[in-house]
Amino acid sequence: MNLTSSPLRAPASRLEWAVARARGQERAALAAYLPAGYPTLDQSLDALHLLATTADVIEIGLPYSDPLMDGPLIQRAAEQALRAGFRTEHLFTTVRELAAGSNAALVVMTYWQPVHHYGPAYAKEVQMSQP
C-alpha cells in the first residue's frame, strides 16, 4: 500500500484543491498566517488580500485575550487587534470578504474558549462565511 498517494478523486474543498495543485506542480503548498484585525481590521484585510495573491493557504487567527500557546509576537498582534476593536463577528466578515476575492484556501485558527463563549452558532457562522 502506497501511503504517499491519494485516491483519484476531485478535491472536495479549497484546502484539498490547494494542496493538490501544489502537489501537481511538484512543490509544497505555501501557507501564511495573520491574526484577523491586526493591526486594524482594514489593514488586515488589505494584508490578507495581498497574501492571497501568492499563498495557497491562508490561516486566519482569531485574536484572543489569553493566547497562552502563542509566541510573544502573535500575542502582541492579538492584543493590538483587540485594542483596535476587533470582535469575533469581524472574523466572519473577514473570511467572507477574503473568500469572495481570492482562490486561496482559508483556515481559521482559534482557541476553544472563544468558540465556547460565542456558542453553537460559531461553526455555522464560519461555514456560512465560505463558498
Q: How confident is the model at residue 7, as a pLDDT?
A: 55
Domain count, the chain: 1
> Tell me, what's the pLDDT at 63?
96
> Which residue in the list 16, 59, 79, 97 is annotated as catalytic?
59
Q: Report if residue 100 sits inside a domain.
A: yes
Catalytic pick from 16, 42, 46, 70?
Answer: 70
Check which CATH number belongs to the domain holding 120 and give it: 3.20.20.70
Report if residue 89 sits inside a domain: yes
Q: Enumerate residue ranges in the chain where pLDDT < 70.
A: 1-11
Residue 25 lies in a domain: no
Whole-number pLDDT of residue 10: 61
97 belongs to the catalytic site: no
Q: The domain containing residue 63 runs over which residues?
A: 33-129
Task: Please tell me the predicted confidence (pLDDT) of residue 3.
Answer: 43
HSE toward the beta carbon, residue 88, CA cutoff 13 A: 18
Q: Is 70 a catalytic residue?
A: yes
What pLDDT sits at residue 90? 96
pLDDT for res 1: 37
92 within some domain: yes
Residue 108 lies in a domain: yes
Is 106 a domain residue? yes
The three-state DSSP-derived secondary structure of the chain is CCCCCCCCCCCCCHHHHHHHHHHHCCCCCCEEEEECCCCCHHHHHHHHHHHHCCCCEEEEECCCCCCCCCCHHHHHHHHHHHHCCCCHHHHHHHHHHHHHHCCCEEEEECCHHHHHHHCCHHHHHHHHHCC
Q: Residue 37 falls within a domain, yes or no?
A: yes
Q: Is residue 23 part of a domain?
A: no
